[in-house]
Amino acid sequence: MRTQVAIVGAGPAGLLLSHLLWLDGIDSVILENRSRDYVERRVRAGVCEDPTVKLLRDVGLAERLDREGLPHHGIVLRFDGEDHRIALTDLTGRTITVYGQQEIVKDLIAARLKAGAQIHFEVSDVEVHDVTGDRPRVTYKDSAGAVQEIQADVIAGCDGFHGVSRPSIPDSELTVYDHVYPFAWLGVLVKAPPANDELIYANHERGFALHSMRTPEVTRLYLQVDPSDSLDQWSDARIWDELHARFAIDGDFSLHEGPILERLLSPMRSFVVEPMRYGRLFLAGDSAHIVPPTGAKGMNLAVHDVLVLSRAFKELLQSGRTDLAESYSDTCLRRVWRAEHFSYFMTSMLHRAHDADPFQHRLQLSQLRYTASSTAAATSLAENYVGLPFP
| 44 part of the interface to ligand FAD, by CB under 6 A | yes
Burial 87-105, CB ≥16 within 10 A → b, else e: ebbebbebbbbbbbbbbbb
Of the residues 61, 164, 296, 316, which one makes contact with ligand DHB according to CB under 6 A? 296
| 297 part of the interface to ligand FAD, by CB under 6 A | yes
Q: Based on CB atoms, which residue is closest to ligand FAD, 213 or 299?
A: 299
140, 181, 201, 222: which one is catalytic?
A: 201
What Cα–Cα distance (Å) separates residue 115 from each residue in 100, 118, 153? 23, 9, 21
Burial 338-354, CB ≥16 within 10 A → b, else e: ebbebbbbbbbbbbbee
Q: Based on CB atoms, which residue is closest to ligand DHB, 53 or 169?
A: 53
Cβ 284 vs Cβ 302: under 8 Å? yes
19, 211, 297, 351: which one is catalytic?
A: 297
Cβ 31 vs Cβ 124: under 8 Å? no
136, 194, 293, 328: which one is catalytic?
A: 293
| 158 part of the interface to ligand FAD, by CB under 6 A | yes
387's contact among ligand FAD, ligand DHB, none, with CB below 5 to 8 A by partner kind, is none
- Measured from each CB, the residue nearest to ligand DHB is 46
The sheet with strand 96-98 has its strands ordered as 47-48, 96-98, 70-72
Of the residues 91, 199, 302, 332, which one makes contact with ligand DHB according to CB under 6 A? 199
Of the residues 7, 13, 29, 184, which one makes contact with ligand FAD according to CB under 6 A? 13
Dihedral sign for Cα atoms in the order 10, 11, 12, 13 = negative
Q: Based on CB atoms, which residue is closest to ligand FAD, 302 or 372?
A: 302
Of the residues 3, 102, 165, 212, which one makes contact with ligand DHB according to CB under 6 A? 212
Positions in 42-101 near ligand DHB (CB under 6 A): 45-47
72, 120, 314, 351: which one is catalytic?
A: 72
Q: How far is CA 328 from the centre of its chain?
A: 19
Does residue 297 carry a catalytic annotation? yes
Which H or E run contains 75? strand 75-79
Count CA within 13 A, CB hemisphere, residue 256. Answer: 17
| 300 part of the interface to ligand DHB, by CB under 6 A | no
Does residue 162 carry a catalytic annotation? no
Q: Considering the complex, what minimum distance in angstroms separates the CB of residue 257 from ligand FAD?
A: 21
Compute the distance between CA of residue 88 and CA of residue 385 in angstroms, rounded to an integer. Answer: 8
Of the residues 46, 157, 194, 387, which one makes contact with ligand FAD according to CB under 6 A? 46
Q: Based on CB atoms, which residue is closest to ligand DHB, 46 or 275?
A: 46
Does residue 140 carry a catalytic annotation? no
331's contact among ligand DHB, ligand FAD, none, with CB below 5 to 8 A by partner kind, is none
| 219 part of the interface to ligand DHB, by CB under 6 A | no
Beta-strand pair 260-274/218-225: unpaired
User: 182 in helix, strand or coil?
Assistant: strand
Does residue 141 carry a catalytic annotation? no
Does residue 72 carry a catalytic annotation? yes
Q: Based on CB atoms, which residue is closest to ligand FAD, 82 or 262?
A: 262
338: DSSP letter: H
Count CA within 13 A, CB hemisphere, residue 149. Answer: 6
Residue type, 73: H
The closest of 350, 338, 55, 302 to 199, measured between CA atoms, is 350
Q: Which spans of this chain sit near ligand FAD (rule: CB under 6 A)? A: 8-14, 31-34, 39, 44-47, 101, 126, 158-160, 162-164, 185, 187, 266, 285-286, 293, 296-300, 302
Q: Which spans of this chain sit near ligand DHB (rule: CB under 6 A)? A: 45-47, 199, 210, 212, 220, 293-294, 296
